[in-house]
Structure 1
Amino acid sequence: MSQNYTNPYKYWYLPLITGIIFIISGIYIFRTPLASYLTLSMIFAAIFFVTGIMEVVNAFSNRHYPNWGWSLAGGIVDLILGIMLISSPALSATILPLYVGITILFRSIMGIGSSLALKKVGIKSWGTVMIFSILGLLFAILMIVNPVFGGLTIVYYTAISFIMIGVFQIMLAFGLKKLK
């Protein structure tokens, strides 16, 4: 019996193309930080909107579960926030660094707690977790206190991430080509 098998390495050039696109996008983001930031803030707003819709649909489809109302309430809040952010790009641009800063702040506080728990059970690398958590905490406070810094940080991290993903994709493509 013959299987219809396609060689996965046959299309090695697809990661190459996406890698080049990611690198070009990363360079573009570096060269146009304001336009890129505005685009990121609109994507941020759209994510809230779509997430809100999905959470509302999920809540209604799971009405038989206890506390489904909390999911509905969260979905409605996200949906309203998404509508407000989409209708006001300036508000979205203002909130984005605060949102990211607060998220990093809470994650860093959780990291400090986790590092203390690691110390308590005798894990030697607890200090590394503590150092990175404290650095994250300081960075988060800087983002919250100085939203311009936060906005630039978000843009440059995005640009660097795109370039790194692009390099990875290109390396993957050439690795696949060797296996072909």
Structure 2
Amino acid sequence: MATTVLSSAQSTVRNWWISLLIGILYIIAGVWVFQTPLASYVSLSIVFSVFIFVSGISQILFSITNKNDINNWGWYLAGGILDLIIGLLLMSHPLMTMTILPFYVGFWLLFQGFMAIGLSFQFKAIDVPNWGWLLFLGFLTLMFAFLLLANPVFAGLSIIYMTAMAFVSAGIFRIFLAFGLKKIKNDFS
């Protein structure tokens, strides 16, 4: 039987709350974007840059604190490092960021969506309830990512609303993931 990130019965997942925190941050970012659709594109790029950077740090901390408890913890670390690098690039080049923001957002969300889908199947394999919601939210995140990548010129309000919806769906996924991780922690403690 192949080992997965969450399949080891001996593993406990410490700091499950980091995923919850990331999910809440995603939802807050999504709501903020919805509430300020006419806000400057510059402020969206700055907020997004900082948000990706903070998300990367959180994910790196999660992977390091769970490296002894989760098989293949390096994938979490790789995702965190990718977010950290993208966040740094976005923060250091604000004018360039405004031009290519749809591509950054689209590819970042693609990675998040594929990660969500993979984790949902791992949850299914170990009988965590509500894994189907994780799968649905992963596909929803992918849909918004593909929409952004298919129409990068279609900036304006469309990118703002698609970005907001993607943040909210990714945030809900992270919250479901956190409670799934907490259940695993409680079941194997």
Give the TM-score taking structure 1 as reference length: 0.43
Give the TM-score taking structure 2 as reference length: 0.42
**Structure with greater Cα Rg:** 1
Quick check: which one's helix share is greater?
1
